[in-house]
A and B are shown apart, each in its own frame.
Chain A
C-alpha cells in the first residue's frame, strides 16, 4: 500500500539534544498527523495539522504542515528519556477516503541519559 517517506529511520541521541524528523509525499495531503508508539501499545496522537504553513506546538514538540502540502516535520526540543519510542507521521490525501490514514514507516528514537 501507499506509504509516506519518513526520515530518518532511527536516531540515537543524548538527553537534552534537539531532534528533527520529517515526512514527504508525492501526493498533496489535506491533513498531517504525528503519532508516537511505544512497545506493545497503539499509536498515540501528538499533533494534528490542517492548513498549509501551519506551525503547532505541544509542549516540547513542534510540527509544521509544509507549504507545498507534500511534507511535514516534527521537532522535539531538549529530549528526555521518556521520549523514547517510534514516531509516525500520517495523513489524508486530498480528495481521498474520509477514513483512510496513510502512515510513514516511523522514526525510532533512542535517548541516552
Chain B
C-alpha cells in the first residue's frame, strides 16, 4: 500500500486480556515508531526500531508492553494484562531512515479497555 496501515482500527478488551496491535510500515522504510495518544493529548513516544533492532524502548510505560519487528518490516505492539489506563489510540509511524525527519503516521488503533 501507499501509506502506513494499522490493524485492527478499533479494539475493545476486557481488563486483564492480552492484545496485539499490528503495524505495516511503508515498504522499504527503515525506521518505525510507536506512540500512545490519550484522549485530548499529543502522541507520546513508546519505542523505536531501526530495521529489526529495537534501539529505544524508554517510553514503554511498563513491562506489560512489548514490541517486536522480527524481519524489519511489520511490527507488533503487545500489551499483556490490559488495564483501563491503557485505553488510548496507538499510533505507528515509519520513516525512510534515521537521518530524515518525515515520520509518516498510520491511522492508529483505538484501544478501549473495559
Whether the Cβ atoms of A100 and B58 lie closer than 8 Å is yes
Whether the Cβ atoms of B4 and A42 lie closer than 8 Å is yes
Q: Closest chain B residue to A40 by CB distance?
A: B107
Whether the Cβ atoms of A106 and B56 lie closer than 8 Å is no
Q: How does the 8 Å CB contact mask read for A1-27 relative to B, with 1 for contact and 0 for none?
A: 101101000000000000000000000
A82 close to B (CB within 8 Å): no
Which chain A residues border B91 with CB–CB below 8 Å? 42-43
* Residue among B40, B42, B50, B105 with most chain A CB within 10 A: B42
| Nearest CB of chain B from residue A75's CB, rounded to whole Å | 20
Which chain A residues border B41 with CB–CB below 8 Å? 3, 105-106
Interface 9-residue window, one of B11-19, B74-82, B96-104: B96-104
Number of interface residues of B (CB under 8 A): 27
Complex CA gap A89/B93 in Å reads 16
Which chain A residues border B31 with CB–CB below 8 Å? 99
Complex CA gap A45/B3 in Å reads 14
B43 close to A (CB within 8 Å): yes
Which chain A residues border B40 with CB–CB below 8 Å? 105-106
Complex CA gap A90/B33 in Å reads 14
| Nearest CB of chain A from residue B5's CB, rounded to whole Å | 11
Whether the Cβ atoms of B101 and A31 lie closer than 8 Å is yes
Whether the Cβ atoms of A100 and B105 lie closer than 8 Å is no
A residues contacting B by CB (< 8 A) are 1, 3-4, 6, 31, 33, 40-45, 48, 50, 88, 90, 97-106
Closest 8 CB pairs of A and B: A42-B105, A99-B48, A103-B42, A1-B44, A97-B56, A100-B45, A103-B43, A105-B42
B residues contacting A by CB (< 8 A) are 4, 31, 33, 35, 40-45, 48, 50, 55-56, 58-59, 91, 93, 98, 101-108
